[in-house]
Structure 1
Amino acid sequence: MDTLKVALLGCGSVGSQVARILRDDTDALTDRVGARLELAGIAVRNLDADREVELDKSLFTTDAESLVQDADIVIELMGGIEPARTLMLSAIGHGASVVTGNKALLAEDGPTLYEKADAAGVQLSFEAAVAGAIPILRPIRDSLAGDKITRVLGIVNGTTNYILDQMDTTGAQFDDALADAKALGYAEADPTADIEGHDAAAKGAILASLAFHTRFPRSEVHCEGITSVTADDIAAAKDAGYVIKLLAICELQDDGGSGVSVRVHPTLLPREHPLAAVHGAFNAVFVEAESAGELMFYGQGAGGTPTASAVLGDVVSAARRIVLGGPGRTESAAARLPSRGIGTVETSYYIGLDVADESGVLAKIAQVFADHGVSIETMRQSMHPHTSGVAAASADPEAKPTAELRIVTHRGRDAALSRTVEAVKQLEPVNAVTSVLRVEGV
């Protein structure tokens, strides 16, 4: 086979760089593949839109369906659910291998695509769907196929990592850090998918599916965003030796029967943990396996050129399979492990409380924890500046002094920890529960 026809769906930031590399590095790619990769066409919605890369205008078409019918490899970079799903299924039906970065579609309806690709004997690859340029999916699927992965911790959203890092390193408020992220192009005009954790949850579903050989849809991922994280939380965590990161956590639970929990939420990590040193908009994935031990993959998690690198890696892999023959590779789902809810997770809680500064408060709170079988690891108390001494008397003679408590628990079931927090809220001396965050890596 002298030439393989490549159809490109979408020509945004990533798509334009993919087209550029296919054009500029033709000879090198031919040497690696054993056949020439010919960019047969680029399907776009608007033929006249500005592109980041100057490309031959004759390549562009609005007829995506016709383009995929005549391709050996289809690269889907349109995003969204439709028409991406229909076009990918059409490509697979016509015998084309598919490369995609569409995390939302894979998390929602990946099983349908995997099954169709398996039945057709074509390859479905999606390295670019998680953590941009970082090669993480192929190592999990291939390099660690003979091992038993027990846990995956991932910083897989650059926007939220930038925001939390700015809050930690500069003391910025959430809104100011978000505004900076938008100005630098790290955050979309509507950042909801990022800051509410939905983007990371879709990636978590993909990571869990590969790591544990079981198909996990996005609906089975517990998801919390970072909008409730305050500058006070960041400062208190820093004072206690922690940093707050939004993590996707995929964990094997072997307590009385194997199951897997998949969750996304703000997490306190000790500052000596490798993921704590991931700054700015970078991504990193920390893998724990029985034989390999601890592995970490780090790099740029977004951007046109870095993500294009991951796409082209998949293209070369798919093209070599076509040239050399053999069945396509998608994913292994033979384990069929059950999904476990957040309540079954073993974790620690970091709890912030606003309480009356009076005798017996600590004892009452400690008793509630004991009644629920939750052990306190550390408890720190500090007076609120505006309610202490002369300041309180001058501001309001009737004001009662209050204190701030920061409690870190020992590890326990999330359900028990959650019930404990609800019980603490009912105590008369407790004015408010100001924060509840999970702790990992200790």
Structure 2
Amino acid sequence: MPPPSLTHPDTELPFAGLRVLDISQGIAGPYCAHILWQQGAQVIKVEPPAGDWGRKVGVVRGDTSALALAYNGGKRSACIDATTGAGKAVLLGLALQADVVVQNFRPQVAERLGVGYAALAAQRPQLVYVSISGYGPDGPYADYPASDSVMQADSGLMFANRDADGGARRIGMLLADAATGLYAAQACAAALCRRYRSGRGGHVELNLFEACCALQANNLLEHALGGPAAAGPVSAPNGVYASRDGSVTLLALNDTQFGKLCRALDHADWLDDPRFTDNAARMAHAALLNQLVASRIATRTTAQWQEILSRHDVLHAPVRSYDDVLSHPQAVHRQSFQTLAQPGLGPLPFAGIPARGMRRDAGAAPVNGEHTVEILRDAGFAQPAIDDWLRQGVVRQAPAAGAGVQ
């Protein structure tokens, strides 16, 4: 049976008609706005002449990056120099027409640009205003510089990801930023729900530090209840084991699961071994048990072990590369990855929000200023004024994405 439809017409999406002004940069703010776009909102992204700094981070091709593609697809882009008086006025004009404004500047920067919450809410009380910062608007760390790596260290995420020797390790993705973007989108949706009931907008304030703490609520409670714990698994066997042609992760969390594993590995004799009688005993002899399991897994291929372990209902999975994930049988069946047609780069795989029937097809990321004139016209600015701003460099119009790319 084929999977259910992934997309609906834009008019049926939950945020159809919602106007979002995204003046954020990097990841957390843009991802928040992009989630709203996926769910039907019209999103205008405003960038300075130098562009969103995320365009030049990580894997870069031309004037864009994987990061920019992941978090800005489908948005329309206006390039505005808000350091000028005229640019501030243009930005204010766009903000006063928005239902949602998303910004992730350091505290007081938005106020200096004339688009702080208080100034906008005084004229547009129904506005939902999303502010994302590193540590919040006040306190001893309010002006502290923050990045994903800084936050992973400062919030305990690296501590949670310690190696077997207790060494802290960075998690290999932009988890602090992405998680904050998700929390911000959810909080924005909650504020919009309140607005639909009451007509009132509001100020949604989030910061990376508290988002990372919320993400680790269980870890922090475990620490409070149990004290410092050694890094590593809490059951045995539990780990990644080399097969003849790859590797497999497998584990047993309780006695029933250990029994299934023993039978799958043709070692029912382990069930009578007093060293393996329960998880406490198995943990005490984890090194031996893991060595025994490793010796057994090394005798067959990954595919052979997948068949055997699945037949015995053992918790396991092959360790997949990203290429393997893209061709995962379940991903193929469920159409988990959309195709992002980015001009100049060809078709690319894109993982949208996983709520079926609640998202658009993947959209190309714009060039900085690709839609500037169109956006200003739609906002009601007169053409002579737009022409003057273009001449003065207050705003900039760029060619469409992919133009001139070889």
Q: Could you tell me the TM-score, scaled by structure 2's length?
A: 0.29
* Greater relative contact order (Cα < 8 A, sep 6+): 2
Q: Could you tell me the TM-score, scaled by structure 1's length?
A: 0.27
- The structure richer in strand per residue is 1
